[in-house]
Amino acid sequence: MRVRRTIMRDTVVRAGALTRTYRNGAETVHACDGIDLDVPAGEFLVIRGRSGAGKTTLMSLISGLVRPTSGAVEVTGVDVGAASESRLVELRRTALAGIPQEFGLLDALTAAENVEVPLRLDAVSPKRRDRLVAEALDAVGLGGHGRQRPGELSGGQQQRVAIARALVRPSRVLLADEPTGSLDSATAATITDALHAYARTHGTAVLVTTHDPVVVARADRVLEMHDGRLRAA
């Protein structure tokens, strides 16, 4: 018998029977309902689904912001659902980047200072920080806006600051929750190119939730989420 050789790429996100339920009064909502998912390094994976399908809940389970009701999720071998808060902080510092649906910017900091936060946590030198921040802001078309605070920026500009903050350094896994939701289609195309290039350059698994056909068109794989369940599109 011939043995077929396959090139195995590292699986950097692995979910098994991952479930999260919420109670809304008498009703139980199955926000994530028995999800099995393997994501290899370098994959640009798109998760599509209607509002309320469970996309943000899935992202939050992977990043450890929300704990599973049952099942498990691992990121680079770390059991995120069971990890201590300090282990999660360490994981986010070293391996996991995110672009939250609500951006998660710090209002008191300028755009450039927001983008700089992950580099400060990494103790990157000030000179190198300045260069990396400038490059990241340029890459999202915000070169001239570094000194403005989030409150002085449009929704789409704020979203791009959150994207620059994620792209400013390499990570093993990037979670991008509707990253083009506040952008026009031309800007969305530029951002999608930047996310795609990031996956290819660093071998990062990029998980993107979206309704945007521009993003879907660039996917290595598209999954459909419906009532907390995930299936091939």
Ligand X SMILES: Nc1ncnc2c1ncn2[C@@H]1O[C@H](COP(=O)(O)OP(=O)(O)OP(=O)(O)O)[C@@H](O)[C@H]1O
Binding residues for Mg ion, rule: CB under 5 A, are 55-56, 101
User: How many angstroms from the chain centroid is the CA of residue 14?
Assistant: 15
For the record, the structure tokens of 133 come out as 């921040």
CA within 13 Å, CB half, 177: 20
**179 counts as binding ligand X under rule CB under 6 A:** no
Choose the one of ligand X, Mg ion, none that binds residue 6, judging by a C-beta under 5 to 8 angstroms depending on kind: none
**98 counts as binding ligand X under rule CB under 6 A:** no
Which is nearest to 42 in space by CA: 194, 232, 186, 198?
198
**29 counts as binding ligand X under rule CB under 6 A:** yes
**57 counts as binding ligand X under rule CB under 6 A:** yes
Q: Which is nearer to Mg ion, 31 or 167 (CB)?
A: 31
d(CA 23, CA 127): 49
Check if the beta carbon of residue 208 is closer than 8 Å to that of residue 222.
Answer: no
d(CA 106, CA 126): 20
Q: Which is nearer to ligand X, 51 or 125 (CB)?
A: 51
**56 counts as binding ligand X under rule CB under 6 A:** yes
Q: Which is nearer to ligand X, 56 or 157 (CB)?
A: 56
- Distance in Å, CB of 177 to Mg ion, minimum: 6
- Distance in Å, CB of 24 to ligand X, minimum: 6
User: How many angstroms from the chain centroid is the CA of residue 158?
Assistant: 16
- Distance in Å, CB of 58 to ligand X, minimum: 7
Q: Which is nearer to ligand X, 100 or 146 (CB)?
A: 100
d(CA 143, CA 108): 20
User: Which residues of this chain interact with ligand X, rule CB under 6 A?
Assistant: 22, 24, 29, 31, 49, 51-57, 101
